[in-house]
Amino acid sequence: MKKIDEYQGKKVLVMGFGISGINAAHLLVKLGANVTANDKATPKNNDIVDDLEADGIKVITGDNPISLANEGFDVVVKNPGIPYDNPLVAAFVKQGTPIITEAELGWEIFDGHLVSVTGSNGKTTTTTLTQLMIAENAKHQVKYAGNIGISFSKIAEDLGPDDTLVTELSSFQLLGAPTIHPHIAIITNIFSNHLDYHKTRENYINAKLNITRNQTKNDFLVINWDRDEWQKIAQRSQTTIVPFSRLNKSHEGSYVEDGMIYWRGQEVMPAKDIRLIGPQNVENALAAIAAAKLSGVTNDAIKKVLTTFSGVRHRLQYVMEYRERLFYNDSKSTDIEATEVALQGFDRPVILLAGGLDRGYTFERLVPYFKKHVKAMIVFGECKDKMKDAGNQAGVPVIESEDAITAVPEAWKLSEPGDVILLSPANASWDQFPSFEVRGDKFIEAVEELTGKKEQ
């Protein structure tokens, strides 16, 4: 951990009691700040408040009182999910109070080698693969943190100048990280996500590009080269561009040609040997390979990781095989693009479990994928009627169910040996579950109850 004095004697407000917010509050006390912690909800667990207060932190819960904007805070550390049009946040913006996220705080105290990953899809898998690859050859600590569910600042506290940290960063985090400077930045892809938060696609793209804003020619931006738009986006960075591509050969980076993965013209391994299924995971592997090779990782280390790693939980996660049916949990597929790429990963008939929060859009884009890959659908949630319409357009049998749990036995009744039973909702979970993680866990529990087996 780097010793800094920027917060010594400063008055800091931490908004949000998530993992990152709580860790940030305690860290700021160590850095000499006078800390107030605020959450709009009242925590069900009193231990959270007790621990904060025991560290000398003033705690305010149950509201974001606008009066806090008049208390002379020097800095606000905001939970990334709190929008900027929140009345209290908007008041701080209006008066010019600096607003950062915990990722910025983590960067300020970090004293090692930083690799950062962002993108619309594939962030967590790419982050995990990159960390595993670099760790295979490392003589020092290699950790991961960030939007992957582990506090950036908490891990940064325990790392030194020779250590490496691979961070997953969301667009929400990057908006509040003005000085972050990874040596290697990765952009997996950019679709049109979170427009309810960012308002426009251009705002969303700009937020993603904050990952490379402070990079120089001595740093690297690893970016997907499979769309013209992404190639143009890369030109907005001042750093050294390293492309990765599943579709286009580029000797400047990692790519696939005739089924073989290459790094700058040199063979690495056959693409078919990657244990993770699907074209999206070939892209995730290519991104991680580029970052790993820039970090000095050997081909043997890369092969070891890619031939053994079976996936991140809830991200096209293999659950088990039972009576010649394969069960996959892709609860993290909260948008249409993610379900598109999930379906493309299978050469077996798929029984698809899909649905969730109705965000106002329809699913015609999925019709070609339903026609090609799906033998039957179980739909649920607020948008089940819209999902059913797309299934009907594709000529796929559709059954309605209550949720992702009750859909499991329904799918089993429709299945035959050789089928895949896939939860890939194409929608957020918030209509029925507090998170995609809970939805995926409940799906796995339902599979275990059906089969009498534990996930593998």
Domain boundary among 55, 70, 100: 100
Looking at residue 371, what is its pLDDT? Answer: 97
DSSP annotation string for 159-189: --TT-EEEEE--HHHHHT-TT---SEEEE--
Q: For the segment 296-323, what is each residue's pLDDT rounded down to a tens digit? A: 999 999 999 999 998 888 988 989 999 9
Q: How is residue 62 annotated by DSSP? A: S
For 435, residues 6+ apart whose C-beta sits below 8 A from its C-beta are 429
Q: What is the pLDDT of residue 127?
A: 97
For residues 138 and 223, state if they share a domain.
yes
**Cα–chain-centroid distance for residue 192?**
15
Residue 424 lies in a domain: yes
Instruction: Report the number of distinct structural domains present in the chain.
Output: 3
Q: Assess whether pLDDT exceeds 80 at residue 326.
A: yes
Place of tokens 């929140």: 86
For residue 88, give its domain range: 11-100
What is the model's pLDDT at position 101?
Answer: 97
Structural tokens at position 100: 């950062």
With residue 421 as reference, give the H or E element that holds it.
strand 420-423
- What confidence score (pLDDT) does residue 330 get? 95
Parallel, antiparallel or unpaired: strands 184-187 and 113-118: parallel
Q: What is the DSSP secondary structure assignment for residue 357, as one 8-state letter?
A: -
Of the pLDDT bands very low, low, confident and very high (cuts 50, 70, 90), residue 194 is confident
Are 72 and 184 within one domain? no
Q: Rounded distance, CA 96 to CA 197, Å?
A: 21
Q: What is the pLDDT of residues 276-303, one digit of tens each?
A: 988 889 999 999 999 999 999 999 999 9
Tokens of 90: 């908007």
Q: Determine the pLDDT at residue 250.
A: 82
Does residue 193 carry a pLDDT above 80? no
Closest by Cα among 204, 180, 194 to 81: 194
Tally the residues of the chain.
456
Tell whether 79 and 170 lie within a shared domain: no
H-type alpha helices, 31-115: 46-54, 87-95, 102-109
Query: What pLDDT is recorded for position 278?
Result: 86
CATH number of the CATH domain containing 328: 3.90.190.20
Give 393-437 pLDDT, tens digit per residue: 999 999 999 999 999 999 999 999 999 999 999 999 999 999 999
209 and 323 co-located in one domain:
no
**Average pLDDT over the chain, rounded to an integer:** 95
What spatial distance separates the first Cα and last Cα of the chain, rounded to whole Å? 38
Pick the closest to residue 317 from 271, 375, 277, 289 (CA basis): 277
Residue 251's pLDDT band, with cuts at 50, 70 and 90, is confident
- Under the banding of pLDDT at 50, 70 and 90, the label for residue 43 is confident
